């Protein structure tokens, strides 16, 4: 794993997530897309480390939510996806989109549950609608971001090519 390239990639994605995409109502969660990427294409120990690091980056930009819920939920979901990838190979784009959709739904629901437990404040009534549409947008955009991310990280994603 090239950790310096990973840090640069996550920093760029975090800035893009907070800056350029912040003005849209329905937007993909790029940090969760890259969490799924690293959980699918890295070995298990690297996937766990990257999941918690991406969760930490999400906690840094999530200002109304206290520190910690993103890191915990991203770490759990990234670890589960990494272990699931050991059993079921997630290599085709529709399978990757489904993995991103489910991971975004579970991580988002877990993050909001942890935030409610920590802050003890009521949640807005449309939070799960926003979470659903964020998951849909992430699943649509995510598989198209995997090849450029693999190129940047130096990961070969097409191991079985036809000649």
Q: Which residues have C-beta within 8 Å of that of residue 127, sequence separation ≥ 6? A: 112
pTM of the model: 0.89
Residue 21 lies in a domain: no
pLDDT cut 70: percent of the chain above it: 90
Q: Phi-psi category of 99—alpha, beta or left, where left has phi over 0 and alpha has psi -120 to 50?
A: alpha
- Which pLDDT does position 43 carry in this prediction? 92
Assigned token pair, 98 = 């489904």
15-19 contacts, C-beta under 8 A, 24 or more apart: 17/61, 18/61
Residue-wise pLDDT for 128-161, tens only, equals 888 999 999 999 999 999 999 999 999 887 655 5
Residue 1 lies in a domain: no
In a domain, 16, yes or no: no
Q: How many helices (H) and strands (E) does the chain have?
A: 6, 0
Q: How many domains does the chain have?
A: 1
Q: What is the mean pLDDT of residues 18-36?
A: 84
Q: Which residue has the higher pLDDT, 11 or 65?
A: 11
Domain carrying residue 135:
27-152
Q: Please, what sign has the CA dihedral across residues 147, 153, 155, 156?
A: positive
* Position 35 in a domain: yes
Query: Among 33-47, 55-69, 79-93, 110-124, where is mean pLDDT lowest?
Result: 110-124
Residue carrying the six token digits 């992430």: 138
Q: Is residue 126 part of a domain?
A: yes
State yes or no: pLDDT of 89 exceeds 90.
Answer: no
Is position 128 within any domain?
Answer: yes
Residue 74 lies in a domain: yes
Q: Which pLDDT score is estimated for 163?
A: 47
Residue 163 in any domain: the answer is no
**Over the chain, what is the mean pLDDT?**
88
């Amino acid at each position: 794993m090239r950790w310096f390239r990973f840090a640069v990639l996550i920093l760029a994605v975090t800035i893009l997530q907070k800056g350029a995409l912040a003005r849209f109502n329905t937007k993909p969660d790029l940090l969760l897309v890259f969490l799924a990427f690293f959980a699918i294409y890295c070995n298990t120990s690297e996937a766990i480390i990257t999941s918690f690091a991406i969760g930490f980056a999400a906690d840094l930009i999530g200002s109304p939510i206290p520190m910690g819920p993103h890191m915990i939920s991203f770490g759990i979901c990234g670890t589960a996806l990494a272990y699931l990838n050991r059993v079921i190979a997630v290599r085709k784009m529709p399978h990757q989109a489904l993995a991103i959709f489910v991971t975004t739904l579970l991580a988002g629901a877990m993050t909001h549950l942890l935030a409610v437990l920590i802050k003890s404040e009521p949640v807005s009534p449309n939070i799960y609608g926003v979470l659903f549409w964020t998951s849909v947008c992430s699943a649509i955009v995510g598989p198209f971001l995997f090849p450029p991310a693999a190129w940047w990280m130096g990961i070969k994603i097409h191991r079985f090519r036809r000649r």
